[in-house]
Amino acid sequence: MNPESNGITAPDDAGEFWQLRLYVAGRTSKSRRAIENLRRICEEHLPGKYSIEVVDLLDHPEIARREEIIAIPTLIRQLPPPLRKLIGDLSDGEKVLVGLEIRR
């Protein structure tokens, strides 16, 4: 696997670090919107405390089966635990914040 990594930032303290993986399929408008929305949300709410890995399932279709990806775009929060999955273009910022437990 050689997924494209984007927006990687290093944690600026010993606090929580958010490791996010976004699964997309090609460069569709929905994929681009999901990437842009996720970057914007992370910069606004998690500056310096996150990494985003974008995985294009057209380049790595075997990953979809292994990771049980049934819809795209799918965002998985790998860290902090527990693992969380969100589906869609992430255009509803409030749903993303609640879904990722950034805002409770």
Q: For residues 13 and 54, what is the distance between their CA atoms, to the nearest angstrom? A: 24
Which has more pLDDT, 74 or 9?
74
On whether the CB atoms of residues 49 and 11 are closer than 8 A, the answer is yes
Beta-bridge partners for 50: 18
Looking at residue 103, its pLDDT comes to 80
Distances (CA, A) of 75 to 5, 34, 55: 14, 9, 10
Which has more pLDDT, 4 or 102?
102
Q: pLDDT, tens digit, for every residue of 48-93?
A: 999 999 999 999 999 989 989 999 999 999 999 999 999 999 999 9
Is 9 a residue whose pLDDT tops 80? no
Q: Are strands 18-24 and 50-56 parallel, antiparallel or unpaired?
A: parallel
- 56-77 b/e (C-beta count within 10 Å ≥ 16 → b): bbeeeeebbeebebeebbbbbb
Predicted model pTM: 0.82
Per-residue pLDDT band for 2 (boundaries 50, 70, 90) equals very low
